[in-house]
Amino acid sequence: MKRRSGKKFIALFLVLFLGSCKTPPVPPEVERAKAQENDLWRAGALLYAPEEYARYLETSRAAKNELIKQKAKIGWFRKYQDVQAAYRGVLAEGEEILRKVQQEKDTKSKDFGRQLEFVGGRIAKLKRVILKMNENGLVRKSLVQAEVLSQEAELMRREEKFTGLSEKIRAIEAHLSRAEEEVFSILARYADESQVERWRAWAEETIAESRRRGGAAIIVTKFDRRLTLYQKGVPKAVFNIGLGKFGLSDKLYAGDEATPEGRYKIVKKNPSSRFYKALLIDYPNEKDRREFAEAKKKGLIPAGRGIGGLIEIHGGGNDSLTNGCIALENEAMDALFSEVGIGTPVTIVGTLESAAELLASLKHFEP
């Protein structure tokens, strides 16, 4: 009976002892540290705080080893106080690194934001300039490429994807530099005061002729895309015009899609042109032939190209590109057609005001 009572006592003791020695729970800091480690990786801690991140991984490894050591023990012998303290240290280090990473990102975001604002200003200025240009070649192509890359770069900045952003901004700047150089090459003579003075002299002579003869005269200013009708030396009407694809350049040969410059006259009126109504001018004149011959001697004319002709003032709309002609809206063409006749002087100039200020505003402004 005593042996049975002893066994019962031992069994009861073990039940009570084991029931009172439950395995302690793993500290919640362990799971929080796992989540934090993922956050640090996604945030780019390796890139923005490499030294601190390396020390953090060492601290984390030590804490994990302590956790493993405790888990190797029988449940009721485990003590997680040291584990908890170790993981609290890990979390503190991680929080500090996350703050530093965010500070670095904020700094980079502001810096890239300033750079993108700068190139955005250059894009805006170029767009204002080409509103006066019908040029559809390198300027417009380079500008479109710069705008697309700028939008991509801004999206990268907002999403904090800074790797490769410097290279993208350099590509934007390269496209803008090409566009600016092309604009300067096209508009350089518009800022040449001696050239502008020649254009002014042509216009003044034409207006004086209109006044002297008491008849009509036409002045076309390509930079402003404007045609002014004079009667007896006095402006009577002003019309917006369209030009050739490379209308701001002076015409040299057939197919260059430039609009000629010089003093001409109307040699034919066509009331039923394929472009509504049309006024044919006497391009090429002697001046044009002389310039063509000189350019050919210098090798500036492609082989097999002639001087061309059939330059008209016609209807069809002022918003479409021509092959070198001057285009008006049909209603404007009706008004002009009724006012002019064979022999009416037509003077085409680049501008009557220097574009030096416009060009200066494009050059390397500071952010």
- Which residues make beta-bridge pairs with 227? 220, 239
- pLDDT at residue 21 in the model: 59
Q: Which CATH class is domain 193-354?
A: mainly beta
Judging by DSSP bridges, how do beta strands 326-327 and 312-314 pair with one another?
parallel
Q: Is the peptide bond before 284 cis (omega within 30 degrees of 0)?
A: yes
- How far, in Å, CA of 125 to CA of 128, rounded? 5
Complete DSSP assignment for 2-69: HHHHHHHHHHHHHHHHHHH-PPPPPPTHHHHHHHHHHHHHHHTHHHH-HHHHHHHHHHHHHHHHHHHH
Helical packing angle, 50-71 and 29-43, nearest 10°: 150
- pLDDT at residue 257 in the model: 84
User: 135: closest CA among 181, 200, 192, 191?
Assistant: 181
Return the structure tokens found at 266. Answer: 């109307």
Query: Pseudo-torsion of CA 318, 319, 324, 327, nearest 10°?
Result: -10
Q: How far is C-alpha 358 from the chain's CA centre?
A: 19
- pLDDT at residue 14 in the model: 47
- H/E element, 228: strand 226-231
Non-local CB neighbours of 192 within 8 Å, separated by 6+ positions: none
Neighbours of 227 (CB within 10 A): 23
- pLDDT at residue 13 in the model: 47
Domain ranges of the chain: 2-104, 108-189, 193-354
pLDDT of the chain along its 367 residues, tens only? 555 555 555 555 444 444 445 788 999 999 999 999 999 999 999 999 999 999 999 999 999 999 999 998 988 888 899 999 999 999 999 999 999 999 999 999 999 999 999 999 999 888 877 776 655 567 888 999 999 999 999 999 999 999 899 999 999 999 999 888 888 877 788 888 899 999 999 999 999 999 999 999 999 999 888 999 999 999 999 999 988 777 788 888 888 888 999 999 999 999 998 889 999 999 999 999 998 888 888 888 888 888 888 999 999 887 766 788 999 999 999 999 999 999 999 999 998 887 776 666 555 444 3
- pLDDT at residue 17 in the model: 46
Return the structure tokens found at 22. Answer: 């439950």
Return the structure tokens found at 93. Answer: 């280090």
Question: What 3-state class would DSSP assign to 300?
Answer: coil
Return the structure tokens found at 120. Answer: 């955005």
314, 273 in Cβ contact below 8 A? yes
- How far, in Å, CA of 83 to CA of 64, rounded? 8
